[in-house]
Amino acid sequence: MSAQSLPASTPLSVFRQFHALTKPRVIQLIVFCALIGMVLAVPGVPNMAEIRLALLACLGIWLVAAAAAAFNCIVEKGIDAKMKRTAWRPTAKGELADWQTLLFSAILCTLGSVLLYVWVNPLTMWLTFATFVGYAVIYTVILKPRTPQNIVIGGASGAMPPVLGWAAMAGNVGPEPLILFLIIFLWTPPHFWALALYRVEDYRKSGLPMLPVTHGNAFTRLQILLYTIILFAACLLPYVYGMSSWLYLVVAVILSIGFCGYGFQLWRHYSDELARRTFRFSLIHLSVLFAALLVDHYVL
């Protein structure tokens, strides 16, 4: 029997609903970026104690990030129901009650916070909890429905994973994780605005003041191009600061030229398909960029 044909009351179906609340693909990228912060914080090959610490930190960060995602689904269930991209979510479809989702979010957040506080360190727990508040409350409740700069300001929460990872292993926050924070912070607007361009009618129906809705297609395309150029400069900082070698630099330059190229094409000759390709490339850009940092750290 396929997953789609399972009755809503079966344990497997309920598990899938709660799992969907955690936004698994988004959480995977968050944990991956946190892991890069952990790796860069440890000189050379980690020992078993450091590997154990990193695994516990990844689990704790995953739990709190999943809790934030679930809380977001409660707050935005009405908006999600109006958008094709999110109408399938269990909260939007009414498959899970608000109290169930809220309880699920609270349990995940509590478990993750306790794990980080007791088995990692208090700094990582407080930074991770602050990220939860920043995303679930400040961004979702306050910024997103009120300003077209929601992605820019709220992007600070999404840029925190490398900082959390570094804090977990080093017990402090130095310039290195802040450079990684800056890269993700600048990457977030062109990433989401590319999506918003070809989903503009969804956002218009939902009432969210996304930039293409409030300022139009042309203005948004220009902003994407400008951000990709600024992001290019930020992506060079790990090499300039001495965090990485020529291997990362080569990958960063190639990826950044590619992202700027998409931004320029989008600005000059818009199409929904090009916006989709730009959005997809942005995911490749960040994933491969951080993977290059990982490889560079161990190879050279």
The count of other CB atoms within 10 Å of the CB of residue 4 is 6
> What per-residue confidence (pLDDT) applies to 7?
43
Same domain, 159 and 111: yes
* Residue 272 lies in domain: 174-300
Residue 25 placed within a domain: yes
Residue 159 placed within a domain: yes
DSSP 3: G
> What per-residue confidence (pLDDT) applies to 116?
97
> What per-residue confidence (pLDDT) applies to 6?
39
Same domain, 195 and 297: yes
Q: Are 271 and 248 in contact (CB under 8 A)?
A: no
> What per-residue confidence (pLDDT) applies to 11?
61
> What per-residue confidence (pLDDT) applies to 3?
41
**CATH code, 48:** 1.10.357.140
Q: Are 271 and 227 in contact (CB under 8 A)?
A: no
Residue 3 placed within a domain: no
Residue 168 placed within a domain: yes
> What per-residue confidence (pLDDT) applies to 1?
36
Residue 55 placed within a domain: yes
Same domain, 214 and 122: no
Residue 164 placed within a domain: yes
Residue 219 phi, psi (nearest 5): -65, -40
Angle between helices 98-115 and 48-75 (to 10 degrees): 160
Residue 68 placed within a domain: yes
Gap between the Cα atoms of 7 and 13, Å rounded: 7
> What per-residue confidence (pLDDT) applies to 254?
98
> What per-residue confidence (pLDDT) applies to 9?
52
**Contacts for 250-254 with beta carbons within 8 Å, 24 or more apart?**
251/288, 251/289, 251/292, 252/289, 252/292
Same domain, 163 and 277: no
Same domain, 74 and 165: yes
Q: Are 64 and 160 in contact (CB under 8 A)?
A: no
> What per-residue confidence (pLDDT) applies to 105?
92
**CATH code, 213:** 1.20.120
> What per-residue confidence (pLDDT) applies to 8?
47
Same domain, 165 and 202: no
> What per-residue confidence (pLDDT) applies to 4?
44
> What per-residue confidence (pLDDT) applies to 12?
59
Residue 97 placed within a domain: yes
> Could you give the number of structural domains in the chain?
2
Helix extents (H) in 134-241: 150-158, 161-170, 175-198, 200-206, 211-215, 217-235, 237-241
Same domain, 226 and 134: no
Same domain, 89 and 169: yes
Same domain, 287 and 178: yes
Mean pLDDT by 10 residues, the chain (300 residues): 45 77 87 93 91 96 93 81 75 81 93 97 96 86 82 86 96 94 96 94 84 94 97 97 94 98 96 96 95 89
For residue 169, give every residue at least 6 positions away whose Cβ sits within 8 Å of its Cβ, in sequence order, or none: 37, 38, 41, 42, 50, 53, 54, 57
Same domain, 166 and 219: no
Same domain, 73 and 193: no
